Amino acid sequence: MKTTTRVAVIGGGVVGCSVLYHLTKLGWSDVMLLERSELTSGSTWHAAGGFHTLNGDTNMAALQGYTINLYKELEALTGMSCGLHHVGGVTLADNQERFDMLLAERAKHRYMGLETEIVTPDEIKKIAPVTNTDGILGALYDPLDGHLDPSGTTHAYAKAARMGGATIETHCKVEETNQRADGTWDIVTNKGTIHAEHIVNAGGLWAREVGAMAGVYLPLHPMEHQYIVTDDIPDIYNMDSEHPHVMDPAGESYLRQEGRGLCIGFYEQPCRPWAVDGTPWDFGHELLPDDYDKIEDSIAFAYKRFPVLETAGIKSVIHGPFTFAPDGNPLVGPVPGMRNYWSACGVMAGFSQGGGVGLMLAQWMIEGETERDTFAMDVARFGQDVITPGYTLPKVIENYQKRFSVAYPNEELPAARPFRTTPMYDIFSDMGAVWGQQYGLEVANYFAREEGEPSYETPSFRRSDAFGATAREVNAVRSSVGINEVQNFGKYRITGPNARAWLDRIMAGRIPKEGRLSLTPMLSPKGRLIGDFTVSCLGEKEFQLTASYGSQAFHTRWFEKNMDEGVILENISDRRTGFQIAGPKAREVLAACTRSDVSEMKFMDVRRMCVGMADCIVQRVSYTGDLGFEIYCDAMAQRQLWWTLWNAGQEHGMQPFGMRAMMSLRLDKFFGSWLSEFSPDYTAAETGMDRFISFKKNVDFIGRAAAEAERETPPARQLCAFEVDAETADVVAYEPIWIEGKVQGFCTSGGYSHYAGKSIAQALIPRELAQDGLEVEIEILGHMRKAKLITTPLFDADGARMRG
Ligand SMILES: Cc1cc2nc3c(=O)[nH]c(=O)nc-3n(C[C@H](O)[C@H](O)[C@H](O)COP(=O)(O)OP(=O)(O)OC[C@H]3O[C@@H](n4cnc5c(N)ncnc54)[C@H](O)[C@@H]3O)c2cc1C
């Protein structure tokens, strides 16, 4: 056996084999896969082998498209069969909400180039004749849906990898992974020890155990899952062509032809987690006992939807476990806090996603970054030091149960909550706070304070029942003063003799002088946006950075990877908290709470001052686009600060406001938001963030060459704002922009400006078309809505209020 290798991939399921293949495809041939038994000895061997492109996250959907298109390439390369059946599939909608979701998906597919289409009940009958279409409104047809042979496909990946120089060692169980001081790994197996530069954990059902060998906790959990294969059915084997897939979200089932019969699987509500305390090492090629009780209701529903099943005999039942992350997407990438340790785990749809996972991981390892935004599957998205098995388990159960549910843009899922709360939780709850959740933290979405304002926001694709409360909060900010926590910002303290030099290198923008703030993009070497930060200079050797709360592990991982001597980085997101106050009366409220001179504070100034009894850092800036202050204090002093500000605010009619109002207010100024307008999918020049890049500074900051190249040759697309002639549904994200009858762009985000009484969208369109007044159409829930490009902000266009 080889005893040294550049990469050791642990696990020979479909995911490990895909990673191995993609590493060779991108140029690394000194790579090795270690499998404790034969290839496919985890979830892979008993999968139903179905694949499809539908995924609520657009980047995940694109990677699923990549995976499906890869199979033919793999067959051609290896001469092996993946057992492909490209039969197409329909996803049914039996109510308006489900139909809305399909319409929204179809709209997204237009600019992604996916050839899906909405079909009527009559067309469904022709495409998928076993379907009883009573009560069905329509369906989404995807010609790319199909199924394959799980074992054949895994072996094809393995052969392709071997052809690229990879080695595969079967019956080689990894028992320990020990890191050396230089960051490389000694991997102890039953066949001896292997020295590897990198480890990829593709342990599937055993990913938790493999992770624990290196002290890594990966938030995933196995769930039991069952599908049934019927005896031969004449209605099926007498058809001229193979019956396509049918996804029936109402029945939480997926159905397809298997041989001369059918196969149907269920995501049943009375589902069961498997191996809660750890996956046994002796589990392998066996199945779990049949359990009809668990799927009794699902079967009864399926008999109504597919009457042919009622008289079909059952040939076999496949009941096995596979793993899920809390949101159902994979866990991919460099594990935060670790060196040379990569995750390729939690892949619940290995045959839809395995190719994309392999490609992204290989790009990340070899090229240092991926070609697209992978945040939806980044192992860092839950926060390595925040997440626990106690959180993961209920979230995974919820995700399994909601696998076929409508995913609403404003939906807040209830499992594992409240988990992390600030000192304000009870005070805000008593004031009617309606909570959302971000990175495990409870965040107030709005406050139900007036008669008729709902204490639960009904999930919807249209304007929700929180509309009135949000309008009231927006009005309070614009007419007087509003108050909101600043807990949900990621906050970092940077100190040390080289703090400024490091920030200058890591951030593309200007690093401010003492007492001032600046806004700056953080770029990847290829010039992609990997952060939008506010930098506050509190002293020549002390800075505060603020950015997205949900990206803490993502950003910390990047900072640590690019750390310099003489710099101390502290993530103080949960230690330093406080409030923002915004609106024309904000200055008066702050002045009443401190003996410091607030009137001398200019826009983008930062000062230390005592507010009430709390030692605070006060910044004159506000994402609402209004006159405003962010007031940071130690978490222990937050309640005292609250009562100081709140009591002082009463004479001005101060109101608390939540994230719904904040996201409406920012639209008035066309401010972008992280992971919508600003994400690794886009560059600074595409999104207008290049105006914050300091080309003057004499520093070779990360991404400089790419940013300069964009100055020479501006990118093809540009971020613009539109006023939309919407009715009851505003833009959410990824709706296509039609210009002269062609899809020429897509929305990044949108919503309703309560201040201006207008529906607003932000979108990327071809640069040469980006002219004030351009008329376009935006497809929202299947309807073409007229929209006009606008360049003048809806509020405070000259900045007089914000800066005054
Ligand atoms: C009933 C059922 C139906 C399914 N249907 C579908 C479907 O239709 N479509 C779809 O896309 N997905 C389906 N899935 C899910 C699919 O099976 C998984 O997404 C996929 O198999 C995950 O592959 P993996 O490589 O991540 O993990 P696994 O297949 O679990 O592979 C992990 C491998 O790692 C090895 N390993 C673990 N620890 C060690 C160690 N210490 N040393 C060496 N080797 C180790 C294991 O032996 C194993 O071979 C289904 C799953 C089930 C249970």
Is there an atom of ligand 1 within 6 Å of 228 CB?
A: no
Distances (CA, A) of 213 to 6, 330, 659: 19, 20, 40
For residues 759-765, give the mean pLDDT. 98
State the distance from the centre of ligand 1 to the C-alpha of 217, rounded, in angstroms: 19
The total number of residues written for the chain in this structure:
804
Q: What is the pLDDT of residues 770-782, one digit of tens each?
A: 999 999 999 999 8
Q: Which amino acid is at 554?
A: F
State the distance from the centre of ligand 1 to the C-alpha of 288, rounded, in angstroms: 15
Is there an atom of ligand 1 within 6 Å of 89 CB?
A: no
Prediction pTM value: 0.97
Q: What is the pLDDT of residues 146-202, one digit of tens each?
A: 999 999 999 999 999 999 999 999 999 999 999 999 999 999 999 999 999 999 999
- H-run or E-run covering 321: strand 314-324
> Given this model, what pLDDT does residue 131 score?
98
Q: What percentage of the chain exceeds 90 in pLDDT?
A: 96
Which residue do the tokens 């800036």 mark?
621
Lookup: tokens for 710: 């964009």
> Given this model, what pLDDT does residue 54 score?
84
State the distance from the centre of ligand 1 to the C-alpha of 43, rounded, in angstroms: 3
Asked whether 771 and 730 are in contact (CB, 8 A), the reply is: no
CB atoms under 10 Å from CB of 259, counted, come to 14
For residues 235-241, give the mean pLDDT. 94
Q: Which amino acid is at 214?
A: A
Examine the pLDDT at 386 and tell me if it is beyond 90.
no
- Among 322, 329, 331, 353, which is best to mutate for testing ligand 1, by the most ligand atoms less than 8 A from CB? 322
Is there an atom of ligand 1 within 6 Å of 50 CB?
A: yes
Cα-to-chain-centroid distance, residue 266? 25
Is there an atom of ligand 1 within 6 Å of 101 CB?
A: no
Is there an atom of ligand 1 within 6 Å of 288 CB?
A: no
- H-run or E-run covering 66: helix 58-78
Give the Cα-Cα-Cα angle 272, 175, 42 (nearest 5 degrees): 35
CB atoms under 10 Å from CB of 456, counted, come to 11
Ligand 1 atom index nearest CA of 254: 8
Is there an atom of ligand 1 within 6 Å of 16 CB?
A: yes
For residues 225-242, give the mean pLDDT. 96
Cβ neighbors of 37 (< 8 A, separation 6 or more) are 170, 171, 284, 285
For residues 29-48, give the mean pLDDT. 96
State the Cα–Cα distance between residues 243 and 237, nearest whole angstrom: 9
- Among 22, 37, 44, which is best to mutate for testing ligand 1, by the most ligand atoms less than 8 A from CB? 44
State the distance from the centre of ligand 1 to the C-alpha of 357, rounded, in angstroms: 14
Which residue do the tokens 């003996």 mark?
595
State the Cα–Cα distance between residues 25 and 7, nearest whole angstrom: 14
Is there an atom of ligand 1 within 6 Å of 267 CB?
A: no
State the distance from the centre of ligand 1 to the C-alpha of 112, rounded, in angstroms: 29
Q: Using pLDDT thresholds of 50, 70 and 90, give the confidence band for residue 275.
A: very high
Is there an atom of ligand 1 within 6 Å of 295 CB?
A: no
Q: What's 651-678 look like in SS3?
A: HHCCEECCHHHHHHHHHHCCCCCECCCE
At residue 148, the 3 state secondary structure works out as coil
Best CA proximity match to 622, nearest among 428, 445, 796: 796
Lookup: tokens for 226: 């069952």
Please state whether beta strands 31-34 and 167-169 pair in parallel, antiparallel, or not at all (unpaired). Answer: parallel
State the Cα–Cα distance between residues 311 and 233, nearest whole angstrom: 9
Q: Look at 53-67, 241-255, 639-653, 747-761 and tell me which has the smallest mean pLDDT.
A: 53-67
Is there an atom of ligand 1 within 6 Å of 46 CB?
A: yes
- Among 19, 40, 43, which is best to mutate for testing ligand 1, by the most ligand atoms less than 8 A from CB? 43
Going by CA atoms, what residue is nearest to atom 34 of ligand 1?
11
State the distance from the centre of ligand 1 to the C-alpha of 318, rounded, in angstroms: 14
State the Cα–Cα distance between residues 138 and 461, nearest whole angstrom: 17
State the Cα–Cα distance between residues 55 and 71, nearest whole angstrom: 19
Q: Which amino acid is at 528?
A: R
Examine the pLDDT at 145 and tell me if it is beyond 80.
yes
> Given this model, what pLDDT does residue 110 score?
87
Going by CA atoms, what residue is nearest to atom 47 of ligand 1?
41
State the distance from the centre of ligand 1 to the C-alpha of 202, rounded, in angstroms: 9
Is there an atom of ligand 1 within 6 Å of 11 CB?
A: yes
Is there an atom of ligand 1 within 6 Å of 15 CB?
A: yes
Examine the pLDDT at 384 and tell me if it is beyond 80.
no
State the distance from the centre of ligand 1 to the C-alpha of 75, rounded, in angstroms: 21
Q: Using pLDDT thresholds of 50, 70 and 90, give the confidence band for residue 56.
A: confident
State the Cα–Cα distance between residues 214 and 176, nearest whole angstrom: 8
Q: What's 695-737 look like in SS3?
A: CCCCCCCCCHHHHHHHHHCCCCEEEEEEEECCCCCCCCCCCEE
State the Cα–Cα distance between residues 20 and 160, nearest whole angstrom: 9
Distances (CA, A) of 388 to 206, 216, 423, 757: 17, 11, 21, 43
Going by CA atoms, what residue is nearest to atom 25 of ligand 1?
13
State the distance from the centre of ligand 1 to the C-alpha of 44, rounded, in angstroms: 4
Q: What is the pLDDT of residues 515-532, one digit of tens each?
A: 999 999 999 999 999 999
State the Cα–Cα distance between residues 725 and 723, nearest whole angstrom: 7
Cis peptide before 766 (omega within 30 of 0): no
State the Cα–Cα distance between residues 466 and 412, nearest whole angstrom: 13
Ligand 1 atom index nearest CA of 189: 42
State the Cα–Cα distance between residues 734 and 454, nearest whole angstrom: 29
Asked whether 476 and 690 are in contact (CB, 8 A), the reply is: no
> Given this model, what pLDDT does residue 790 score?
98
> Given this model, what pLDDT does residue 613 score?
98
Helix, strand, coil % in the chain, rounded to nearest 5: 30, 30, 40
At residue 628, the 3 state secondary structure works out as strand
Q: Which amino acid is at 621?
A: V
State the distance from the centre of ligand 1 to the C-alpha of 405, rounded, in angstroms: 24
Which residue do the tokens 């979701």 mark?
101
State the distance from the centre of ligand 1 to the C-alpha of 340, rounded, in angstroms: 23
Best CA proximity match to 672, nearest among 785, 537, 552, 531: 531
State the distance from the centre of ligand 1 to the C-alpha of 33, rounded, in angstroms: 15
Is there an atom of ligand 1 within 6 Å of 530 CB?
A: no
Is there an atom of ligand 1 within 6 Å of 205 CB?
A: yes
Asked whether 756 and 668 are in contact (CB, 8 A), the reply is: yes
Cα-to-chain-centroid distance, residue 14? 23
> What is the sign of the dihedral through the CA atoms of 501, 503, 509 and 512?
negative
Asked whether 683 and 727 are in contact (CB, 8 A), the reply is: no
Is there an atom of ligand 1 within 6 Å of 33 CB?
A: no
Is there an atom of ligand 1 within 6 Å of 350 CB?
A: yes
Q: What is the pLDDT of residues 327-363, one digit of tens each?
A: 999 999 999 999 999 999 999 999 999 999 999 999 9
Asked whether 743 and 111 are in contact (CB, 8 A), the reply is: yes
> What is the sign of the dihedral through the CA atoms of 750, 754, 755 and 757?
positive
Is there an atom of ligand 1 within 6 Å of 606 CB?
A: no
> Given this model, what pLDDT does residue 715 score?
98
Is there an atom of ligand 1 within 6 Å of 168 CB?
A: no
Q: Using pLDDT thresholds of 50, 70 and 90, give the confidence band for residue 449.
A: very high
> Given this model, what pLDDT does residue 284 score?
82
At residue 99, the 3 state secondary structure works out as helix
Ligand 1 atom index nearest CA of 44: 21
Asked whether 346 and 207 are in contact (CB, 8 A), the reply is: yes
> Given this model, what pLDDT does residue 228 score?
96
Q: What is the mean pLDDT of the chain?
A: 97
For residues 455-479, give the mean pLDDT. 97
Cβ neighbors of 127 (< 8 A, separation 6 or more) are 88, 90, 119, 141, 244
Is there an atom of ligand 1 within 6 Å of 322 CB?
A: yes
